[in-house]
Amino acid sequence: MHKLYALAVIAVLLPTGAFAADLSAPEAPIAMAAPVNETGGIFDEARFGILTGVDNSDVNEEDGAFVTGMLLFDPWSHMEAAGWDRLLRPRIHVGGTIATEGEANQVYAGFSWTANVTDRFFLELGFGGTLHDGDLDIDDGGEGPKLGCRALFHEYVAAGFNVTDRWSVIAHLEHSSHANLCDGPNNGLSRGGVMVGYKF
């Protein structure tokens, strides 16, 4: 799992052809209305999908599926930045996951970095925090992972394909744990699945 995240970090941080894209398009005259790509909304992208547990060890196995959704905001124009400047201007994500079989539900938030490998294919890395309602230790009596504390780190890697200018299909893998920074077990939550994205 850690090797996979390390490879994703390297892939996102490497300069790509999209990072060098020419952003020198002429500005609209002051007398004109807002540019056509200005939607006026606060959301940059919405995603929804289905995840499942990917760690089937005795202490980490989770039953059922997880319905998940995520909203992304772009207050610092991450998607318009070029080169390494994009690293300093991440998008913000907030989301949640609902279990279908009584496992841990989550709400989370953090930062996301996207690398456009081609016009259609992109890689993404996200890091932040999550709150959950799962078991903390063995005394809680549940059969799911024992997570030690309510607040955990939350990170994800994703690879997506832009089907159209607005719609995309995304393979998504995420992990939540406390990195042994609080007392109690640290089984963690590891889930993966497919999401559909819509750009506003």
The pLDDT score that the predictor gives to residue 66 is: 98
The whole-model pTM stands at 0.79
Kindly report, residue by residue over 72-81, the tens digit of the pLDDT: 999 999 988 9
pLDDT value at residue 167: 98
How many alpha carbons lie under 13 Å from residue 160 in its C-beta half-sphere? 29
Mean pLDDT of the chain: 84
Q: Which two tokens stand for residue 58?
A: 């005795």
Contacts (Cβ under 8 Å, ≥6 apart) of 199: 44, 45, 165, 166, 167, 168
Give the pLDDT mean for 167-191: 96
The domain made up of 2-16+42-199 has a fold known as Porin (2.40.160)
User: Around 180, how many Cα atoms within 13 Å sit in the side-chain half-sphere?
Assistant: 0
Residue type, 52: T
pLDDT at res. 145: 94
Number of Cβ within 10 Å of residue 42's Cβ equals: 10
Task: Indicate the pLDDT class of residue 103, thresholds 50, 70 and 90.
Answer: very high
Give the dihedral sign, CA 134/8/65/162.
positive
- pLDDT of residue 2 exceeding 70, the answer is no
**Window from 6-15, 45-54, 84-93, 109-118 with minimum mean pLDDT:** 6-15
- Whether 149 has a pLDDT exceeding 50, the answer reads yes
Q: Phi and psi dihedrals of 70, rounded to 5? A: -145, 140
Minimum mean pLDDT range among 53-62, 146-155, 185-194: 53-62
Domain boundaries defined on the chain: 2-16+42-199
Please compute the mean of the pLDDT values over residues 36-59 and round it to a whole number. Answer: 83
User: According to the model, what pLDDT value does residue 189 have?
Assistant: 97
Note the pLDDT of residue 40. Answer: 53
What is the pLDDT averaged over residues 93-103?
Answer: 97
Strand partners, 175: 155, 190
